[in-house]
Structure 1
Amino acid sequence: MKAINQNVFLFLFSLFSLVVFAQPKNEAILGTVKGTVIDSNLKQPIPYATIVVNDSSKKIISGGITTEGGTFVIADIPKGTYTLQVQFIGYTTYTQEIQITKQNSHLNLGTILLKEQVESLDDVTIVAERTTIEQKIDRKVINVGKDLTTTGGSAAEIMNNIPSVNVDQDGNIALRGNENVRILIDGKPTNISASQLLKQIPSSSIKKIELITNPSAKYNPEGMSGIINIVLHKNSNIGFNGNINMGLKVRKNARFNSNIDLNYRSGKINVYGSYGANASKSKNYGFVYKENDNTRQDFLINDNNKSHLLKVGVDYYINDKNTLSVYTNQNIYDGKTNVDTEINFLSAPENNIAQILRNNGDNTSASYNLDFKHDFEKEGHNIELEIDYNDYEGESNDAFSFNNRGGYVDTIDNDRQNTTINLDYVNPLSETTKLELGYEARIRRTDNQYASTFFPSSKYEYDRNIHFLYATYGSTFEKWAYQIGARVESYEVEATLNENKVFEDDYITVYPSAFISYTPGEKNSYQISYSRRVDRPGLNQVNPIREWSTPRITSLGNPSLDPQFTNSIEANYTRRLNKGSITGGVFYRLVNDEISQTLIKNPEVEDGQILTFANFDNNSAYGIELSSNYRPAKWWNFNASFDLYSQTQKGIVDGKQKEVDAAIYSIRMNNNFKVSKDLTFQLFGFYRGDQEGIQFKTKPFYFVNAGARYNIMKGKGTLSFNYNDVFNTMRFRFEGEDPYRQNGAFKAETQTIFVGMSYRFGGGKNRKVSRKRRDDNEKSGGGLL
């Protein structure tokens, strides 16, 4: 492993050396033009604005895009007179004549002010008709359009439409084929499990989804496959305005979701709030067949869940240099689950067992955020303090009965507190270089109490303190940009069971990262990056208190799990076309001590199994990702993606060394057909091939969705209809040999009809506050890139 790390660092060092010491050609007839693009109202930089240099025949000579600080440098412009244009959506195009001569070959245009287009201001607040995908320096941004929000009720149903993301039958989410992914809401961690969280967020509350596969050193290194940041809508228009969304999904059971956003802005104060609600009933059924004892377990699962999500915030613009912001997220969940399990001994039916589980679970999660930002005199020079506190309280009550006779009751109380403190300092040392320094603390306290009328009671406590220091340095020159950084972490964890210490660990480690990008013109961009990441065991993975059980299977955590570390390198290419764009990428990652779910024999139950977690050996994976956004005709546009991953897994299963090489692939395509100005039809298809793991092989599945949208009330309202899983083919099937030869399948209530309506009211000019969202750099990408 040390040799591999040394080779990686030698490669990166050599690459950086070539870039840093490369010198431009010394040709007197070539010139350079630079400047800074600023919003004329907010006096803030506009990143990713397009710069185009045309000759007298309007032929494009050169071009580029602005950095996060709004700066640009266009080099290698031949001697002559040209027209320079600055373009950005929602703004009036800026045009200026420039002249390159031998005497004046290096032009500094200074500050360029872009004005918002009056005729497009109303459109800015409307959710886009179609989803768009942007490839940025360190992330892929999916701007969620009506074609996704009209697919159904929750974030979980949107995720399977996103390139590189998969959600399984139980709601577990995977990025690039791996479930070790970190979920953030508005750039913040949450105490709610990812599968439960995705079910609680209404689809209409989501503004965009960011896939951050190689975050810079500025951001938390957790998550082997990366970070999925779900950004919720926040309205910042002047005056009073808002929007409301409602949807109903039906088959045998009904699911209702609604969301309302309100905003009032006047002078120095901006007040905003949103409320979303989900109410759903669903059915899930399946079976597991074991060959060794010729038994079949049949499951029937009925869920009845209600959730409420409230967000309220205030931005106070103290003056031009200081901004204070506060907000709170409140999440309330109440769920009931009935699980009927039958174990049928096909060779001896007199031994059949029936178990009935009645679960009552509710939880509340509250987060409070305070942010203060001070801007110094120099543009882009600032310091920011952010404090975030999250409190979670949950209670679960499980009543078990067997063969319609008496049983027992389990009760679990779960309390968690997360405190996060960030202090960030940004200093543009020059127009082309930026230095960022910072400190971060993440303090977690968890208290789990288990009581049972049959089993012994227990108490599990899990405390974790993490402190970080980071530094990043970035620079741009000509058409190149690079950023290097490192994050130093101090980690302490302690776990106790019934007041007895069961696990303790502490260490100090470093997480380096590096990015290089090359943008030769407005149509092509290249990017390569490297990062080291960590996956620390989650609470459910280390909690030795059983999570659920059937007569044959018990689920619980493993308190002895070690963290897994990942070294990842990837390269991406984006080609902008006249009618769309194509993005391609390749990646490679090496994982040490991979954490994976495993089935082991239960010594206390005959033919029983324990579903838990274990550290497997090293794992390597590589993959290819292709996505496109294209409009073949005015009435037709589509998004398509293809993902192919290959991985090697090694580990000990049932006392035997095992190694598996597997390839995983998936294909998505979303078509939008515009029949008229107001009517649009949609057709979405998905296919995923089989996936072989170290214990199980999952079989292929596919599904097709069809829908329509109709704009009403002069575009302020939208009616939508969607028929999900048209052919009723979405199901989870698997087979395996260890520790027993078995196979099974599960099917949820996926074939549904959705009808919805959205309406926007109020108006006003859009002037969004430019405060950073943490891990949401996770807004900016960090550095100058």
Structure 2
Amino acid sequence: MLKTILISLLLWYGISIAVAQQGAVKGTVKDAADSQPMRYASVSLIAEGGNVIEGQLTDSLGTFLFSRIRAGVYTVSFKFLGYDHAYTDSVVVGAKVVDVGTVFLRAADQFLDTVEVTGRRAPQEHRLDRQTYNAAQFQQTVGGTALDVVKNLPAISVDGQGQISLRGASGVLVLINDKPVVLDPVTFLSQIAANDILEVEFITNPSARYDPDGKGGILNIKTKKASQAGVSWIVNVQGGLPSIHDYGNKEAQQRYGGDLSVFYQRDKVDFSVALNYLRNDNAGFRDGDVNTIIDNRQTFFPSAGERSFDKYNYGLRMNTAYKLAANQNISIGVLANRRYQDRLADIYYDNRTIDLTSGSQIGGMSYFNSNLQNKQGEFYLIDLAYKLNVGMHNLGLGVVYEYANIHGGTDNLNIFQTDTIQYVKNTYRNPLNGLRVDVSDEVSLDGGKLTYGYQFRTDEQRGTFLYKEQEGGTSVIIPAFSGRLNASNHVQGVYAQYEFTRRALTASIGARYEYYRRLLYLRDIDTHHRYQTHQIYPSLSLMYDMGNDWAWKASAGRRVQRTNNFELNPIPEREHSETLEQGDPNLLPEFISTAETGLVKNMANMSLFANIYFQHVKNPIQRTNSVYNDTILNRLFTNAERATRWGLELGGQAKPLTWLQLNLGGNLYRYAVSGLSFGNQNESGNADLVFSFNAGAQLAFLPTWNLSANINYLSNRPTVQGWDSRFVTPHLALKKSFYKNAVYVLLQWQNLELGNWGVNEQRITTSGSDFFTTTNYVYEKNILLLNVNFNLNRINQLLKLPKSEFGEKEF
């Protein structure tokens, strides 16, 4: 017994000494260009003999912690693709925590953006699960919106209808500074000023800590923050020249705007506020041809006329972060915007009906249709976040509340000669409330990092839709096309994700469980449509440093594209003279399985990447047409059985000359959709190859002059009932800087066309056994905009204005 006790005491004593001789090493990694934390930087602890003892990735705050380290002398190395490697001096580890402080990584010289002289950032970066693009390289977007920035990213395309596609997939989840928004992507991105954006992250296979929503993946918009202590101001003013092509539109287009950004950073406070206003009208024209067959009659109604847009938006974005203590941070963000859009379609129709047996004309009428569609809304978002560091744990609590007052309507007027033969007015009001709560923890474990958490989110819309026809001097509500609708979505989820580095391999593996419940209630007929499901969404990402600046990446995951309330709404809307639009309350969500692998190569003056990817979609949602009557098509949303997409993505950037920078991104894929049936029609599906590319060049041919050229191209694309034509938009921008870049003037030439190239045009064609429709939409070309940008901090530095010395010091 005594011997056992003695041995136990000796073991305890030995362990105590060993533990007492163990310590820890911690620190933070930031980007040298803007002092922003760098997530997923690879950090390795190296012993004196050169052996790597342990490796890990930095967390969302750029921090790392090596715990339970034996006493000794070590070196810490820091790596990030596209950045110069960094090393600490010798670190002596004893029984305490050694803080190596903040390590700043600098972008490798060959990748630096040529636009700014100081504080330069790499135009693009490749990380474990994402590609990151610096917004400053897209000069043609200055004065525009976030949507203008996004459309220039490789493998991302925006068609004439404003629909965003990532590698050909139209569903996308948008984040603003890592926080999801409830609004549809186009609406939200159209409200954020391009000048307010620092970078855009493109995440194709997001990890488990992110929402699984978004068929194509995630776009994370990172806004600018203060990069130095004190106050800084940036002002941009924009004006548009008169239209070169107005297509005989009724009103002249107006284009002007401006934005102001203010940043303040001192001690524990980091504050930013951005204000913007943009009026951006667009002239346009459309021509179309439709025919329908009912019984033994075929009706043709070709059309042509104006299709123009009057639109403006203005708003405020504010963010404040306060450091409560060394281990506590709190932040609050506020977003408030108003958006307004009128779409005027003044169309001339020439209708005629023939007897299919004899071929003789049995009826006809020519008339004028004026269709004014209005969409507007006020949008508000409040974001609260609290972070607490306790030992090896980084605890987080986030609450986001979103409100949108969405309303509008359509006036549809048919005139024969001087007589009004029909006047229809659709109005709607569909406010939205959304709430999100996030609780998370990040903890260092065995050389890696475990992130786990719980999320709750809910949104609700209570819509009122009225369809009125003018009869005599009275406006009569038509019950068949009117109604009230409540729609709600509730999600609860838990997730866990583990990230680690083992020598040259960086990996992330995780899974998310979600319970989803959807309720649609038609109040006027007291009818409920319910849907609920339990789902698991796994994810895996790998990145291997092959040496010689080669890196291999692979990832796989499962995602969901949930239905939006517009697609579910069964109340018909008279979108324009020839179309009724209607949703399906029993529409199913799309479930997506994805996998990809690729290579990244960095060279002296060049960086290249290539990815092969696959996507399988269950229940793909399709917008289809059917015959409602002889001159109206019914546009419906319905599920097909399956869709697949095999693709190759290529891209890169190069600096062949000191004054020339090139960037190119291309995407080629085969898309196939099949298994659609609705009504009395069965469609076998459609399939074809699709490709797109975005290319650009920046020429700094003189010290204060810079020329930027860019082109976005999207080829023909198959739909379940037809085709969408190719869509191409070239742009040119010329920049002249003054006073050491404190002021610059930028001339933009958007949608450039010299000749008849079909720029900024898109034809949409669909057909069935009893109808055919094709419409060519022509959007305004050769738009000229002039921007003047003032960096007030640089101006003050140049002017060397007098300031108080002794008074400021005493104050």
* TM-score, length of structure 1 as denominator length: 0.82
* 1:553 CA drift (Å): 1.2
| Percent of paired sites with the same residue | 19
* 1:538 CA drift (Å): 0.7
What amino acid is aligned across from residue 451 of structure 1 in structure 2? Answer: L
- Residue by residue over 1:459-488, the C-alpha shift from the partner in whole angstroms, topping out at 9 and shown as x without a partner, is 000011110011112222111122221111
CA contact (8 A) 2:501 2:507 kept: yes
Match in the other structure for 2:403? 391
What amino acid is aligned across from residue 274 of structure 2 in structure 1? Answer: S
Q: How does 1:733-748 map to 2 (within 5 A)?
A: 733-739=763-769, 740-748=771-779
User: Measured at CA, do residues 124 and 327 of structure 1 come closer, stay the same or move farther in structure 2, by a change above 3 Å?
Assistant: farther
Match in the other structure for 1:623? 647
Match in the other structure for 2:728? 702
* 1:591 CA drift (Å): 1.0
Distance 2:371 2:760 in 1: 26
User: Measured at CA, do residues 65 and 477 of structure 1 come closer, stay the same or move farther in structure 2, by a change above 3 Å?
Assistant: closer
What amino acid is aligned across from residue 586 of structure 2 in structure 1? Answer: S
User: Alignment partner of 1:581: what SS?
Assistant: strand
- Residue by residue over 1:532-551, the C-alpha shift from the partner in whole angstroms, topping out at 9 and shown as x without a partner, is 11111111111123344233
User: Alignment partner of 1:672: what SS?
Assistant: strand
Match in the other structure for 1:670? 696
CA contact (8 A) 2:402 2:435 kept: yes
Match in the other structure for 2:458? 443
1:428 aligns with 2:444: yes
* 1:295 CA drift (Å): 2.1
Match of 1:316 among 322, 333, 342: 322
Match in the other structure for 1:193? 184
Distance 1:97 1:196 in 2: 50
1:521 aligns with 2:547: yes
Distance 2:546 2:424 in 1: 68
User: Measured at CA, do residues 311 and 702 of structure 1 come closer, stay the same or move farther in structure 2, by a change above 3 Å?
Assistant: closer
Stretches of structure 1 lacking an aligned partner (at least 5 in a row): 1-33, 54-60, 74-81, 765-785
What amino acid is aligned across from residue 379 of structure 2 in structure 1? Answer: S
Match in the other structure for 1:761? 792
User: Alignment partner of 2:282: what SS?
Assistant: strand
CA contact (8 A) 2:43 2:58 kept: no
* 1:714 CA drift (Å): 1.2
- Residue by residue over 1:308-341, the C-alpha shift from the partner in whole angstroms, topping out at 9 and shown as x without a partner, is 1201222121110111111210011233332223
Deviates more, 1:747-756 or 1:264-273: 264-273
- Residue by residue over 1:163-199, the C-alpha shift from the partner in whole angstroms, topping out at 9 and shown as x without a partner, is 1111111211111112122233333333443333333
What amino acid is aligned across from residue 269 of structure 1 in structure 2? Answer: V
User: Alignment partner of 1:158: what SS?
Assistant: helix
Match in the other structure for 1:777? none
Q: How does 1:268-417 map to 2 (within 5 A)?
A: 268-291=268-291, 293-345=299-351, 350-378=364-392, 381-403=393-415, 405=420, 407-417=423-433
Distance 1:139 1:39 in 2: 18
Distance 1:618 1:427 in 2: 40
Deviates more, 1:125-134 or 1:739-748: 125-134
Deviates more, 1:439-448 or 1:237-246: 237-246
CA contact (8 A) 2:760 2:780 kept: no
User: Alignment partner of 2:186: what SS?
Assistant: helix
Match in the other structure for 2:248? none
Match in the other structure for 2:235? 244
Distance 2:573 2:174 in 1: 21
Distance 1:421 1:97 in 2: 42
- Residue by residue over 1:112-148, the C-alpha shift from the partner in whole angstroms, topping out at 9 and shown as x without a partner, is 4456699x9xx99989889812221111111111534
Deviates more, 1:606-615 or 1:323-332: 606-615
User: Alignment partner of 1:453: what SS?
Assistant: strand
Distance 1:743 1:414 in 2: 31
Match in the other structure for 2:467? 452
User: Alignment partner of 1:145: what SS?
Assistant: helix
Q: How does 1:33-432 map to 2 (within 5 A)?
A: 38=28, 47=39, 67-68=58-59, 112-113=100-101, 132-150=123-141, 153-235=144-226, 237-252=228-243, 253-291=253-291, 293-345=299-351, 350-378=364-392, 381-403=393-415, 405=420, 407-430=423-446, 432=447
User: Alignment partner of 2:161: what SS?
Assistant: coil
Q: How does 1:385-784 map to 2 (within 5 A)?
A: 385-403=397-415, 405=420, 407-430=423-446, 432-454=447-469, 455-456=478-479, 457-499=482-524, 500-521=526-547, 523-602=549-628, 605-652=629-676, 655-727=681-753, 729-739=759-769, 740-762=771-793
Deviates more, 1:440-449 or 1:165-174: 165-174
* 1:623 CA drift (Å): 0.5
User: Alignment partner of 2:368: what SS?
Assistant: strand
* 1:665 CA drift (Å): 0.5
Distance 2:131 2:150 in 1: 14
Structure scoring higher RCO (CA < 8 A, sep ≥ 6) equals 1
User: Measured at CA, do residues 189 and 343 of structure 1 come closer, stay the same or move farther in structure 2, by a change above 3 Å?
Assistant: farther
* 1:90 CA drift (Å): 14
CA contact (8 A) 2:81 2:127 kept: no
* 1:523 CA drift (Å): 1.0
User: Measured at CA, do residues 109 and 330 of structure 1 come closer, stay the same or move farther in structure 2, by a change above 3 Å?
Assistant: closer
User: Alignment partner of 1:520: what SS?
Assistant: strand
Distance 2:103 2:347 in 1: 64
What amino acid is aligned across from residue 761 of structure 1 in structure 2? Answer: L
CA contact (8 A) 1:426 1:437 kept: yes
CA contact (8 A) 2:56 2:500 kept: no
Task: Kindly tell me the number of residue pairs found equivalent between the two proteins.
Answer: 701
CA contact (8 A) 2:554 2:596 kept: yes
- Residue by residue over 1:398-426, the C-alpha shift from the partner in whole angstroms, topping out at 9 and shown as x without a partner, is 33222052613222111110000000111
* 1:722 CA drift (Å): 1.8
What amino acid is aligned across from residue 490 of structure 2 in structure 1? Answer: N
Deviates more, 1:237-246 or 1:563-572: 237-246
